[in-house]
Amino acid sequence: MISPKLSEIFQKRLIVFFYLVAFVFSLLLMKLFYLQVVKYSYFMRLARERTYDRLFIPAPRGRIFDRRGLLLAGDRPVFNIYLDPRYLRGREDQVLHRLARILGEDFHRLKTDYLLRKREAYGEVLLRRRLDQDVVARLEARRYFLPGIRIEARPERYYPLGQAFFHLLGYVSPITREELRRLKALGYEPSDYLGRIGLEKVYEDLLRGKKGEREVERDAFGRVVKIVSETPPRPGYDLFLTVESPLQQYAYQLFEGKSGAAVVLRPQDGEVLALVSAPAPDPEGFVKGWSPETWQAIQKDPLHPLLNKALLSFHPGSTFKPVTLLAALEAHLVTPKEVIFCPGYHRLGRRIFRCWRRWGHGKVDLLRALAESCDTYFYVLGERLDIDYLADFARRCGFGKPSGLGLPGERPGIVPDRSWKRVRYGSRWQKGETLNVAIGQGFLEVNLLQLTRFYAALANGGTLWRPWVVKKILGPEGDLLQGNKPEVLGRLPVHRENLRWIIRGLTEAVEGKRGTGRAAQVPGIQVAGKTGTAQVVRIKTKKRPGRKQEEVPYQERDHAWFVAFAPVKRPEVVVGIFVEHGGHGGSAAAPIAGKLLKFYLQGELPQPRPGS
């Protein structure tokens, strides 16, 4: 029998236990209330985020067409496979083993690729691109056993005409991690591509379009079980160019095995008919990715395929002589009929400036000076001219500043004067340096587009047009966003009579018996033009005579230039040619220009396709 004292102790303990249990249950009820009521919206959102997912639908990039409606850049569908690490925890090896068997790849290599890409990825990991349809079908058939995978059909950029348009159109390549941090607020995702150079870069905002959105419901393994809602993407805007594709392709072909550039303009309004830099890599290589060996070979190529030589600045050589001559004519420092004797050199103080023809040209007037490119004639003009006046005149002719085309990477060149040298080198200008500038050497640098635009102004009577290549921009529904028109940037600071003398001299340079540009002749059509041979390195006089170009190391060979327009009386086209380390302008650049002129003026350019 339990004593009253023990019974009292037991009852007290029972009461304490009861209160303790009641307290614990109260805590549980309070926690339950907190979770179910107070934090309801928070946990509901978490549950929804784990059940529902928002996917971006890539927008087709805007297309690029030539002036006749031929596709230059467009998109084609490809299948990519993505892995979501959130649904692969504890299952990575199992899923990757199954994927390796379906893809026909080594498991260890596939896993290594996945882990490396996972470190760089934000969210989903893009494992493989451009799957063929048989692989896609096998993946779809086994999707139930592959948690966390997603197969997406997305547009991929391609360039039907390849390398010929590389430097004009540019290319796209995957966005980098650093770029993504900077551009994420603008809607870019890890799987996006960016325009890198050329028109792809200039018009990135219009070409990229606007992504669509798809809200989906997933099961516990990350598989999509239901599409809740969908907003379709809006394709990018289409660009229609002024370029003639056959002319562009032909120009690129003419540079096979050479390094250089070609620019073809319409003198009446500045339209760009062709802009080529050679050699060039395949733009699709940047979309698909280069192998390390191929990329290394491209970077080490001595012909510099990644550089747009139409926009880089070089010494123009004798192609600059019309600028010098016009400046002297306008300043009344020379007359067209004045005769200057060329013994093969010109003496200035103790220095000897040599003409390219060692034995000299004899008596030379304006027409012969241009036709035969007599250096001595222009040395004399350089001695008469003030460098500040010549530099100002050249700038008014469009040199020393960007051409206005708007492509990235254009170098404005150098038009030197006294203040430029003082700032650059901290020294005074020497008169002999003016003589070098007068023949297109020395500190002077121009790019091919600037030079071709100047000759277009000579051809049309003095108007400097802004070069332009985008004719119109259309929206996805065919609505006109922008229609571009020719724009006048200025006029050459010359009188018409002086302009006529220059054109006569340029005509003689091609059509004359002793002209340096005879290789650019087109049967039945009168051509005007000027050759240029620009020294790259200073060669000692005793080494120069009789030395053949093939005996000179490639990097030391002269640059070859030629710019021409035709027909002379009513010019329809202007062609500028630059051959890097090509040797003489008359033998390396003029033949290319002649073939392009003949192709454009007498060849068969295709007619526009109906409805294009």
SS3 label, residue 77: strand
- Asked if 155 and 60 count as a contact pair (C-beta separation under 8 A), the reply is yes
Q: Where are the beta strands (DSSP E) in 413-512?
A: 446-447, 463-465, 470-474, 480-483, 488-491
pLDDT digits (tens, 9 = 90+) for 26-82: 777 887 777 677 766 766 655 555 567 777 888 999 999 999 999 999 999 888 888
Long-range (24+ apart) CB contacts under 8 A made by 545-552 are 545/358, 549/583, 549/584
Domain with CATH 3.40.710.10 in the chain: 245-470+479-602
Pairing of strands 340-342, 362-364: antiparallel
pLDDT digits (tens, 9 = 90+) for 210-247: 988 877 776 655 666 677 788 888 999 999 999 999 99
Q: Which of 86-90, 302-306, 482-486, 510-514 has the lowest mean pLDDT?
A: 86-90
High-pLDDT (> 70) share of the chain, %: 91
316: left (phi over 0), alpha (psi -120 to 50) or beta: alpha
Q: Is the pLDDT of residue 157 over 70?
A: yes
Rounded to whole angstroms, how far apart are CA atoms 98 and 78?
Answer: 22
Exposure on the CB side of residue 80, measured as CA atoms within 13 A = 17
Cβ neighbours of residue 436 closer than 8 Å, sequence gap 6 or more:
353, 382, 442, 443, 444
pLDDT at 610: 44
Give the mean pLDDT of the chain: 88
pLDDT digits (tens, 9 = 90+) for 368-400: 999 999 999 999 999 999 999 999 999 999 999
What is the DSSP secondary structure assignment for residue 414, as one 8-state letter? B
Strand partners, 57: 212
pLDDT digits (tens, 9 = 90+) for 109-154: 888 888 888 777 667 788 888 888 888 888 888 877 888 888 888 8
H helices of 319-374, where? Answer: 321-330, 366-372
Mean pLDDT over residues 454-477, rounded? 95
Q: Is the pLDDT of residue 545 over 60?
A: no
**Residue 318 catalytic?**
yes
Q: Where are the beta strands (DSSP E) in 457-523?
A: 463-465, 470-474, 480-483, 488-491
Q: Is the pLDDT of residue 177 over 70?
A: yes
Strand partners, 107: none
Helices (H) and strands (E) in the chain, counts: 21, 25
pLDDT at 546: 53
Closest CA to 326 of 397, 241, 227: 397
- Asked if 64 and 199 count as a contact pair (C-beta separation under 8 A), the reply is yes
- Asked if 382 and 434 count as a contact pair (C-beta separation under 8 A), the reply is yes
Rounded to whole angstroms, how far apart are CA atoms 392 and 407?
Answer: 25
pLDDT at 605: 58
Q: 609 falls in which pLDDT band (50, 70, 90)?
A: very low
- Asked if 414 and 384 count as a contact pair (C-beta separation under 8 A), the reply is no
Cβ neighbours of residue 255 closer than 8 Å, sequence gap 6 or more:
262, 276, 278, 279, 579, 592
- Name the amino acid, one letter, at 404: G
Mean pLDDT over residues 339-356, rounded? 94
The position carrying tokens 């289409």 is: 238
Rounded to whole angstroms, how far apart are CA atoms 306 and 281?
Answer: 7
- Name the amino acid, one letter, at 357: R
Of 495 and 546, the one with more pLDDT? 495
Closest CA to 486 of 199, 271, 264, 263: 271
pLDDT digits (tens, 9 = 90+) for 180-203: 889 988 888 888 899 999 999 999
pLDDT digits (tens, 9 = 90+) for 276-293: 999 999 999 998 888 889
pLDDT digits (tens, 9 = 90+) for 435-446: 999 999 999 999
The position carrying tokens 């339990």 is: 2
pLDDT at 367: 97
pLDDT at 604: 62
pLDDT at 541: 41
Q: 540 falls in which pLDDT band (50, 70, 90)?
A: very low
- For residue 578, report the phi and psi dihedrals to the nearest 5 degrees: -130, 125
Q: Pull the structure tokens for residue 158.
A: 């391609």
Domain with CATH 3.90.1310.10 in the chain: 44-76+151-241
Q: Is the pLDDT of residue 542 over 50?
A: no
Mean pLDDT over residues 421-432, rounded? 96
Closest CA to 147 of 101, 191, 86: 86
Rounded to whole angstroms, how far apart are CA atoms 556 and 547?
Answer: 12
pLDDT at 543: 46
High-pLDDT (> 90) share of the chain, %: 61
Q: Is the pLDDT of residue 539 over 70?
A: no
Of 604 and 152, the one with more pLDDT? 152
Environment class of residue 408 by beta-carbon count within 10 Å: exposed (0-12), middle (13-18) or buried (19+)? middle
Q: Is the pLDDT of residue 339 over 60?
A: yes
Rounded to whole angstroms, how far apart are CA atoms 563 and 565?
Answer: 7
Q: Pull the structure tokens for residue 458.
A: 């000579």
The distance from CA 285 to its chain's CA centroid, rounded to whole angstroms, is 15
pLDDT at 219: 65
Tell me which of 318, 419, 427, 612 is the catalytic residue.
318
Q: Is the pLDDT of residue 158 over 90?
A: yes
What topology does CATH give the domain 44-76+151-241?
Penicillin-binding protein 2a (Domain 2) (3.90.1310)
What is the DSSP secondary structure assignment for residue 588, as one 8-state letter? I
What topology does CATH give the domain 245-470+479-602?
Beta-lactamase (3.40.710)
pLDDT at 455: 98
Q: Pull the structure tokens for residue 262.
A: 């070609």
Continuous segment of H or E residues that includes residue 43? helix 40-51
Mean pLDDT over residues 84-89, rounded? 78
Rounded to whole angstroms, how far apart are CA atoms 329 and 492?
Answer: 13
